[in-house]
Amino acid sequence: MTLDRWISFLLTVWVGSDLSSVTSFVTELLFLAGLWGIFRKCGVEGWWALIPFAREDKLGQVAGRDAEGRVLVVIKAVQAVIDFVQIILLTGTTTEQTDAILLAVEVAVVLISMIYYIRVYLGLIEVFDQRKRWVLLWMTVGFIPALMWGYLKKYQPLWTIKELQSQASNYFSGARAAVLDQGLTVNLEERTATEMFKKKYLLRDIHMYIQPGHMVLLLGGSGAGKTTYLNAVNGYEKAKAEVVLNGRNMYTNYKEMQYEIGFVPQMDLMRGSDSVYRTLMDAASLRLPVELSKAERAARVEEVMKIFGLTPVKNNLVVKLSGGQRKRLSIAMEFISNPSLFILDEPDSGLDGVMARELFQQLRQIADQGKIIIVITHTPDRVIDLFDDVIVLAKDAQRTGRLAFFGSIEEARAFFGKDKMEEIVRSINRKEEGGDGRADEFILKYAEVQHG
Phi-psi region of 262 (alpha: psi -120 to 50; beta: other; left: phi over 0): beta
Phi, psi of 167 (to 5 degrees): -95, -150
pLDDT per residue as tens digits for the range 70-98: 888 888 888 777 766 666 655 555 566 66
Average pLDDT over residues 279-285: 89
Instruction: Count the domains in the chain.
Output: 2
In the listed set 119, 141, 165, which residue is the last one of a domain according to the structure? 165
The pairs formed by 161-166 with CB atoms below 8 angstroms and a separation of 24 or more are 161/42, 161/43, 161/44, 161/61, 161/62, 162/43, 163/43, 164/64, 164/397, 164/398
Main-chain dihedrals φ then ψ at residue 440, nearest 5 degrees: -60, -40
Strand partners, 194: 199
Whether the CB-CB separation of 252 and 423 falls below 8 Å is answered with no
Compute the average pLDDT of residues 198-215.
89
Q: Is the pLDDT of residue 4 over 60?
A: no
Per-range mean pLDDT, top range of 228-237, 268-277, 318-327, 415-424: 415-424
Alpha-helix runs per DSSP H in 166-319: 226-233, 254-257, 276-287, 294-307
Q: Is the pLDDT of residue 257 over 80?
A: yes
Q: What is the pLDDT of residue 322?
A: 83
Domain hosting 285: range is 174-450
Domain limit, last residue, from 165, 196, 221: 165
The pLDDT of residue 3 is: 45
Band (134; pLDDT cuts 50, 70, 90): very high
CATH code assigned at 226: 3.40.50.300
Same domain, 376 and 249: yes
What confidence score (pLDDT) does residue 16 get? 60
pLDDT of 166 higher than 50: no
Q: Is residue 398 pLDDT above 80, yes or no?
A: no
What is the reported pLDDT for 94?
57
Section 109-113 average pLDDT: 84
Residue 1: the pLDDT is 46
Bridge partners (DSSP) listed for residue 240: 190
**In the predicted structure, residue 164 carries a pLDDT above the cut 50:** yes
Are both 200 and 343 inside the same structural domain?
yes
- Is the pLDDT confidence value at 13 over 80? no
Q: Return the beta strands (E) in 224-382 as ranges.
A: 240-245, 248-249, 261-264, 341-345, 372-376
Same domain, yes or no, for 208 and 245?
yes
Using a 10 angstrom Cβ sphere, with 0-12 exposed, 13-18 middle and 19 or more buried, the burial of residue 443 is buried
pTM of the model: 0.69
Does 204 share its domain with 249?
A: yes
Check whether 321 has a pLDDT greater than 90.
no
Name which residue leads in pLDDT, 421 or 289: 421
Question: Span 344-360, mean pLDDT?
Answer: 83
B/e letters for 219-229, b = 16+ CB within 10 Å, e = fewer, are: bbbebbbbbbb
pLDDT for 289:
82
- Which pLDDT belongs to residue 12? 59
Which range (109-113, 157-161, 305-309, 409-413) has the least confidence? 157-161
- Cα 30 off chain centre by: 37
- The answer to whether the Cα torsion of 322, 328, 334, 338 is positive or negative is negative
- Report the distance separating Cα 380 and Cα 377, nearest Å: 6
Question: Is residue 407 located within the same domain as residue 278?
Answer: yes
Q: Quick one: average pLDDT of 299-320?
A: 89
| DSSP secondary structure code for residue 275 in this structure | B
Q: 449 falls in which pLDDT band (50, 70, 90)?
A: confident
Give residue 180's pLDDT. Answer: 85
Q: Which of 246, 259, 163 is nearest to 209 (CA)?
A: 246
Query: 409 or 25: whose pLDDT is higher?
Result: 409
Mean pLDDT of 208-221: 94
Listing DSSP states for 37-98 in one string gives HHHHHTTS-GGGGGSTTHHHHHHHHHTT-HHHHHHHHHHHHHHHHHHHHHHHHHTS---HHH
Q: Going by C-beta distance under 8 Å and a sequence separation of 6 or more, which residues neighbour residue 17?
A: 24, 28
Top-confidence residue, 3 or 404: 404
Same domain, 249 and 368: yes
- Do residues 381 and 444 both lie within one domain? yes
Spatial CB neighbours of 412, under 8 Å, sequence gap ≥ 6: 390, 392, 405, 421, 424
The confidence score (pLDDT) of residue 39 equals 92
Residue 38: the pLDDT is: 93
Q: Exposed, middle or buried: residue 86 (CB in 10 Å: 0-12, 13-18, 19+)? A: middle
Closest listed residue to residue 64, CA positions, set 159, 168, 149: 159
Taken in order 348, 352, 358, 364, the sign of the CA dihedral is positive
Residue type, 117: Y
Predicted confidence band at 287 (pLDDT cuts at 50, 70, 90)? confident
**To the nearest whole number, what is the mean pLDDT of the chain?**
84
Question: Smallest Cα–Cα separation from 283: which of 251, 318, 248?
Answer: 318
Rg for the chain, CA atoms, rounded = 27
421 pLDDT above the threshold of 80:
yes
Whether the predicted pLDDT of 420 surpasses 70: yes
Same domain, 303 and 217: yes
Residue % of the chain over a pLDDT of 90:
29
CA 87 vs CA 6, 34, 77, 91, 164: distances in Å: 9, 30, 15, 7, 43
Q: Model confidence at 229, in pLDDT bands (50, 70, 90)?
A: very high
Domain end, chosen from 131, 165, 199, is at: 165
Q: Is the domain of 190 the same as that of 161?
A: no
Do residues 84 and 137 both lie within one domain?
yes
- Same domain? For 153 and 254 the reply is no
What is the rounded distance in angstroms from the CA atom of residue 29 to the CA atom of residue 182? 65
The answer to whether residues 205 and 260 belong to one domain is yes
368-386: pLDDT as tens digits: 999 999 999 988 999 999 9
Residue 414, judged by CB atoms within 10 A of its CB (0-12, 13-18, 19+), counts as exposed
